[in-house]
Amino acid sequence: MSFRETSMPTGCNEFRRFNRLNRRQVLQAGAISALGLGLGDLESRLALAQENGLSLPAKRAKACIFLFMWGGPSQLETFDMKPDAPAEVRGTFNPISTKVPGIQICEHFTQLASMTDKLAIIRSLTHDDPAHLSSGHATLTGQLAPVLKSDADPPSAKDSPHLGALVSKLRPSTNGLPSFVAMPWKAFHPAAPGGEAPGQHGGWLGSAYDGMLLGGDPNDPNWHPQGLSLPADIGIGRLESRVELLKTLDAQRANLHRSLGASSYGNHQARAMQMIGSGNVRSAFDLTQESDATRERYGRNIHGQCVLMARRLVEHGVPLISVNWHNDGKNFWDTHGDNFNRLKNDLIPPADRALAALLTDLEERGLLDETIVAWVGEFGRKPQITANNAGREHWPFCYSGLLAGGGIRPGMVYGSSDKHAAYPASDPVTPQDFATTILHAMGLPTETALLDRENRPHRITSGRVLHELLA
């Protein structure tokens, strides 16, 4: 496939009408494994996978913290700098040496530079979708969106499940905590006609696997998790009596509400009651139990405190936490204008600080070997700088991402780009490959299929496992 620059939009306020390909998932009997259909637990699926000779990692990661850099970070100002390129490509930042000889990254990642021995840097991520929403779906689900190259199509029941929803299905929590938590919001782009990015919920698995949305700013001293506390005049006993009354009313009208949504709503109610009544659950979400020094180390800002919360949830047994870059009122990592000041002053410092603190913290607590940390956006930025506003436009054809911990081979660079970081020069990696590798490292049989709400089978991944990235 040849990638043509002419297909690129000029900016988020001028979305072009791309040639949309309505993607219908055609599943033929010979193309999909029946592995896992009808099996209710992960261990049964794993046993069947091994019987069928499918490769599984020797050591499974127990959790994944997925740091989604919504908007599309520039590869040229993060982890794939090109100091020998022309000025209109290389920009104003300089590369710095890191703990691993031969690996250089942007000078503004001052803390992460001393921790590259823990990272696998991928410099050859690539796809051909320049739209935030549909490429966001691919990043968060590891599957193509129902409508490609579209910023006009919001979430729908046709979406593939978020990676967290798949983990919830295959590795459900048994300790009262949710299996999938997203924070501090669902990624939304105000300049995209569709608004909220698809692929952030249960998709074709159903709303029972939507996960828990932990909204708000955990750096706010008055912040507390919504839904995990009761009004002062309602005790747990009184709440339980109200729930019992509600169950009675629900039962009387059950014959009028047989839809999946009603059933899922009941499941959500039961889980909410379990969480509210559990001291262990409330403790997991209580950032005040962290020392001031620890909170400072992550950064007293919304991103830093969300990443700290993610570490707490991993400690308490939540298997997948997605931290979406927050609503900063400035279009996130989507730096169409003032790219260099935005990165230097607003974006890189909190991202660098939080990620370095997370890696250090997980290692000190003995959790890094069993926790995958992923850091990636939905695409990169155009190599040529926009002269009139020092910005960079969307560029999905080549960009960078990070993986660490959880069985990932540390201290390495995978793939390479050409002299302008415009296209992969070796070992191209798709978002599907990136996601498939994460699920494989978590011990999930990536060739399995699951049934949707209409009992149709879907493969849970469509990428390949990047075995070179695995320790």
Is the model more confident about 225 or about 411? 411
pLDDT value of position 245:
58
Name residue, tokens 């839809």: 259
- Token pair recorded at residue 214: 């932990």
Distance CA 374, CA 382 (A): 23
pLDDT by residue (tens digit) across 320-379?
A: 999 999 999 999 999 999 999 999 999 999 999 999 999 999 999 999 999 999 999 999
pLDDT value of position 226:
79
269 has pLDDT over 70: no
pLDDT value of position 282:
87
pLDDT value of position 173:
87
* Pairing relationship of beta strands 371-376 and 63-68 according to DSSP bridges: parallel
Q: Report the range of poorest mean pLDDT among 36-40, 294-298, 384-388.
A: 36-40
Is the model more confident about 185 or about 243? 185
Banded pLDDT at 228 (limits 50, 70, 90) = low
pLDDT value of position 59:
73
Averaged pLDDT, 438-446: 96
> Do residues 334 and 132 make contact, with C-beta atoms less than 8 angstroms apart?
yes
Q: Report the range of poorest mean pLDDT among 137-151, 251-265, 266-280.
A: 251-265
Ordered domains of the chain (ranges, CATH): 24-225+285-299+309-469 (3.40.720.10)
